[in-house]
Structures are given as structure tokens and as C-alpha cells.
Chain A
Amino acid sequence: MSDETTSGVTVEFFGIARRRAGRARIVVCQGLDSARLGDVLLAAAAELPGLADECLDGSRPREGFLANINARRFTTDPDVPVQSGDHVLLLAADAGG
């Protein structure tokens, strides 16, 4: 995992999520060694209300969105463990081109 962040989890936003977040990324859960994906998304939502309204359903990606851990595994499961230094990507579930 490549990372410029030494603590916390970096949430990267793509597409609509980036537009709603108003930024490309945010670092959350600093000071924690590990967390659940749901904790990470809730922490991001707390700082980015636009994101919470349209891209999240509580602690999980809203229908139409997916999370991806370290650009390797897609998931919507809020209980997936996430480590400090990980990157969580929030992106559109539909990859049609």
C-alpha cells in the first residue's frame, strides 16, 4: 500500500462522490490503529454533509456507490476492517462506458 499518510485512513472520492464532497480526499480516523469501513465513512460524512446526503446510507455506501479498499477490493460491507494508512475509495458502482 502506498501512502503519504502515516496515521488515519484516507478516503478518496471519485466522480459524483467527489462533486458532493467538494474535494478529492480527506483523512479521517486519525489516532486509531484500525476501524471498520462504516466508521471511516461516518467520520467522512461528519465533515462532509453533502457526501452524507447523497452518497451514503448511514455507515455504508448508498445504492449506486461502492467502496474499494486500497484500490484492490470492492465492498459495501460496513464491517470490513480498515487499518491506519489504508485508502478507501468511494466511487460509482456503475462502470458502464
Chain B
Amino acid sequence: MASVPGYHGGYLRVDLTDRSSRRIEWPDGVLRQFIGGGGLGAWILRHETPDGVDPLAAESPLVFVFSPLVGSPLTTSAKFAVLAKSPLTGRINDSLSSSHFAIAGKRTGYDAIVVVGAAARPTTLVVTPGGERFESAESEWGLGSRETGRRVQQRLGNGDDGFQVAAIGPAGERLVHYATISHDARHAGRGGLGAVMGAKRLKAIAVAGDRRVEFADPGRLIDISKDLSKRSLGPATAKYRELGTVDNLLTFNRIGSLPTRNFQSGVFDEASKLAPESLGADRDRTRTSCAACTIGCEHIFSITETDGETGRAGVRMEYENLFALGPLCGVSDPQVVLAASQRCDELGLDTISTGASIAFAMECAERGLVDIPGLQFGQGTALLAMIEDIGHRRDWGDLLADGTRAAANRIGGGSHEFAPHVKGLEIPGYEPRALQAMALGFAVGTRGADHNRSGAYEVDFSPHVDQIDAGPETIGPVVRVEDEAVLIDSLILCKFLRGVFPDRVAGMAELLKPVTGWDVTSAELIETAGRIVTAKKAYNIAQGWTPAEDTLPPRFFEESLSDGESIGARIDPDRLAAQVEAYNLARGWTAEGYVPGDRLAALGLE
């Protein structure tokens, strides 16, 4: 195909089994239809994944995708997506991460890197414009991702235009089903992509290069980049700059939507101990940012027990690790939550699924379904010990390492009723009974319960719906925010920029024009979003999805919230089912959620 500005025109496909590689050119039209990041990754995954493949089998592809905006001066554009069939859910999984790996990866001269096969021994894949090579990672096996990255960089060179590294930690090596892939302490966190990498005995992937893409209108791109950077420093992002996402904690607690003690409550009495002010009261706090970002949302808190491996005392705190390792487990000691978060980062564990799995086990223990010494809500020591056991697949940690759905299947005793997952992916920090647009977003999400792909909490946090009594008016806005999220994840931009666009879709169209030269409109981008969501759905259907998956755990139907400002809130299963049907129809699918052939054809997805 003719070269498109913003792209290199093809992707690299590496087979670890026979150490072969080849470049594959994009078919005509694919780039404009899927853009990049999560969208383009969904296209690749549909074409590269055998139906019914075991996610941890050699033939299961692992896909790293960049985007047309990477390498441009647009703020927050240094991002990449990682996709695979999730070992946690058996469904499509796309996780995004940030920073220098995205820039260096695109400079290899490829728009994406697809890894198939499996190495015989621990391996580091090195990708440059000059070719690929396979280095032994025996000496890094067992190390954390940060230390692995440091050593690989030291060996290969880490100066200007030097190598950037994405790696797995011990949890990925042990195939923990919610293991992460990490770069510079940032994580492609959800859905167990680290286990897919570990199953290939791929410890790290190192990228470097000097290949730069042309942009369609460099002058215009510089102008809009300056404007976007200026707007990114305005009031819409002040929350992220000054407080970080941990700011959510007290707000959510006040409105009764802070998941507590394995979703037994929406209020945590000791939340103030974990508020940003408390976290920062006796600790150093610094702020940093991803490469090419003007927002700087990362708030790093020092902790007293430094890690022996890295010597670093700081830990990055976000709302999700705070809620999952704090209130969800009934833990209010900030020191414990910081230490737990740091250990998850080092081991390479998704903090949401880790916290949720431990909270689930705590409730099982509370109900007498399991006998795990010391494991009770609020017990920080037990929380920290279980994180180690999960990361190393020891004792009860081995069972919890497969996630709450698998654990409930083994524990039995009705525990599936309160196992906090959708499609196997543990629910993030938004209590669905108190935020019922989000509940719908969780139910229909192609990767499971997720706040990054749906973003339906935005609908709850708006004047347009009653968040604990959401009616049919919810459907349109839920579809709209999902469309916006899928576009943001495909360009790729940071979602924290959302507030700076008066019209998000129109704003994204304006960004794409000087990069690619495409005269895209909002209407085209909305169709693109629908195409990408449908491609993900079609992928799931091919992998065995059934309509019964698009729901929530029974707890949310059977138990009303018993305290807090959302007291009495419960999800009506019939109403949720009707909303799911309405959502499916709004997407152009059947009421059950299957994709008709003519819809596939209309979107170019045959």
C-alpha cells in the first residue's frame, strides 16, 4: 500500500520457536479503519489468533502496537498497546502503557511487533531497524521487571536513542493469570499479558532505532501540539497534577461507591487514613510524568522499607491500587498499602486483580469456606504475605494466582456469588450498585469488568442519569463514552486529556489530520469506534463468547448496599438484562449480542 504519514507501513512478526521474523505490510485501508493502539491491535489479533487457542500456548500471539501519534510533539502521545487472548478471561485483552518504550519501539521502523511461538530457554528479544536477535535471559530470570530493564539497558546501551525495555517479573514467569508487562515502572496491567509473555519464555523485549515517520502537515502539527500542551495545563487536569487519581478515594467514599471488604460495602470507615493528605503527611512525595507528557499525574510516595533489589523507596500510587489493596481488603494502614503496591509492581502483578483475589479469599475465610491462617479483612501482614505467595505461586497463592473466577470454581460453597469479576476480570474501584451506568459498562465490556475501556462512570458522574436508578436514558451516553475511549486508546492519547476537549471526537479528528493527512470527520471516527468495538466482539465470539457472560456477579443482584449514601442500592437483574439488550442493538448487533453478517460487512470486518 502507499505510505501513510504517521506510519511505517507494516508490522514485524517474530516467531520465537524457530527464531524467524518477517515484515508484513498493512493491507489497503486497514490503518484508517483501525488507526493504531488498541484498534489496530484488535485487527491484528483477529487475524493472528487461531480460534479456541489456549492463551498460554506457543501459537497464541502477543502483540505490541504503537500509533500514528507516537513520535509527534502531541502531549501524552508516547503510548503503546499490548494485546493477547487473556489467560484470565479467555477473551480479548488490550492493555496500554506509556513512555520511552513507545518512542523507541516505533523508531525500529515498525508500527507493531507481533510475537508468536515460544523460546526453549529464557530469552530477550532485541528489535532494531537492522534486524532482530535473541539473547539469553537466563541471568535475568527471577528478577523484577525494573531490574531486568536496567540490566538489559546496561548491556545493550541506554544513551540517547538507546534501548528501551518492556519486561515481566517473577509473576509472569510463573504464569500468574494477572501478571503484568512493565516498562520503567509503568504497566500493561490488566488481563495477564505478562503470563502470555512468560509462557513464551520471553523475559524482555528491547527496542531501539532511528527510523522516524513523516507527518502530513508538520507546521500545523506543531501549532496544535503547542495549543494542546497549553490546554493540558489548565483546570481540567489540575486534579491529576496536584493530587493524582488517589483523589477519588474520599469522593467515592462520600457517595457510597468505594468498594470495601470485597464489595460488601460502598463505604470504608477508615478511608481518611488513606486520603492523599494522609499518604503524604509523613512521607516525601514527588511528581513525575511519562515521556512526552505535560500533565505529570504520577505521584510517588516514599516508604520506609526500601526494596533490596532496586534501592528505591518510592512507590507510585493510583486510585486503583489504593482501593484494591486498601479498602477492598479492609486495610487502612497507608504503610501497608504502599508496601503492597510496591511488591505488586516488583513481582509484576496487576494490583486490581491481586487485591480483589485476596479480598475474595478473605471473605471465603470469613464464611468458613477456606482455612488460611491469619487471612482476615484488615490484616496487613496477611495481605503482604499473600502477595508474595501469589507472585511465587506458593500454597494458597497458587490457587489465587488464577483469579477469582477460577478460585471460586475450586473453592465452591457458593463462593461464585461473591467472586468479584466479569468474564474473569476482577472489578475495579467503582461499586456497580452505586454507579449503575458503570455496571452496564462492566457487563458488556469485551475485556471484562473494566473502567478504562468503558468509562461509563462518566455517565454516573453527570446530571443526566440517576446513578443508583439508571433507566433507558443511560444507553446512549454509555455507548458514546465507550466510543470515545476506544478512539483515545487507538490514537493513542492519555484519557486524562479528556476534559480539555470541548468536543472529544472532533478534537481527536483535528489531531489526526496533520499527522496522517486524512480528512477525517467526527462521523467517520464514530464509525471507526463502532468498527473497533465490533471487531473485539467478533474476536470474542470466535473464541467462544456466549451472551450469559454479559452480566455481573449475583451479589450485586441479591444484596443491597447496607450503609453509606447509596444505602439500599441494588441492581435489578431484569433491568440490567434489558439494558444489555438495548446496548447490543445500539451497536448494530442482535439483541443477544451476536454480530450479524451484514453488520460485519458494513464495517469491513468480513
Contact = CB atoms under 8 A, between A and B. Distances in A.
A binds B: yes
Contacts of B242: 16, 19
Contact of A93 (B243, B320, B461): B461
A66 B458 CA distance: 11
A52 B514 CA distance: 38
Interface stretch (A26-34, A41-49, A68-76): A68-76
Contact of A94 (B239, B323, B451, B565): B239
A16 B460 CA distance: 20
Contact of B466 (A12, A73, A95): A73
B256 interface: yes
Contact of A15 (B251, B428, B463): B251
Interface of A: 12, 14-16, 19, 54, 62-64, 66, 68, 70-77, 89, 91-97
A69 to B, nearest CB: 10
Nearest to B297: A96
A54 B255 CA distance: 23
Nearest to A92: B239
A96 B318 CA distance: 10
A97 B254 contact: no
Interface stretch (B160-168, B219-227, B495-503): B495-503
Interface in B307-327: 318-320, 323
Contact of B461 (A12, A15, A71, A74): A74
A16 B461 contact: no
Contacts of A95: 248, 251-252, 457-458, 460-461
B574 to A, nearest CB: 24
Contacts of A74: 460-463, 467
A16 B236 CA distance: 11
A44 B466 CA distance: 26
A53 to B, nearest CB: 10
A68 B254 CA distance: 11
A94 B457 CA distance: 9
Given A64-B238, A92-B239, A94-B496, A71 B247 contact: no
A97 B321 CA distance: 9
B376 interface: no
For A74, A75, A77, A95, which residue has the most chain B Cβ atoms within 10 angstroms? A95
Contacts of A97: 245, 248, 318-320, 323, 428-430, 451
Nearest to B494: A96
19 contacts: A12-B254, A15-B239, A15-B247, A16-B239, A64-B235, A72-B255, A74-B460, A74-B463, A77-B463, A89-B254, A91-B251, A92-B239, A93-B462, A94-B236, A94-B496, A94-B498, A96-B498, A97-B245, A97-B323
A63 B323 CA distance: 27
B250 interface: yes
A70 B468 CA distance: 14
Nearest to A91: B251
A75 B465 CA distance: 10
A72 B565 contact: yes
Nearest to A94: B499
Contacts of A54: 235, 238
Given A95-B461, A97-B320, 13 more contacts: A15-B239, A63-B235, A63-B236, A70-B565, A71-B565, A72-B255, A74-B462, A92-B239, A94-B496, A95-B251, A96-B245, A96-B451, A97-B428
Contact of B463 (A19, A76, A91, A94): A76
A94 B498 CA distance: 9
A64 B499 contact: yes
Contact of A96 (B238, B243, B462, B495): B495
A70 B567 CA distance: 13
Interface string B493-527: 00110110000000000000000000000000000
A97 B396 CA distance: 29
Contacts of A93: 461-462, 499
A94 B297 CA distance: 13
B99 to A, nearest CB: 19
B243 A16 contact: yes
A63 B238 CA distance: 12
B255 A71 contact: yes
B318 A71 contact: no
Contacts of B457: 95-96
B444 to A, nearest CB: 19
A77 to B, nearest CB: 7
A66 B460 CA distance: 12
A64 B240 CA distance: 12
Contacts of A19: 242-243
For B245, B323, B565, which residue has the most chain A Cβ atoms within 10 angstroms? B565
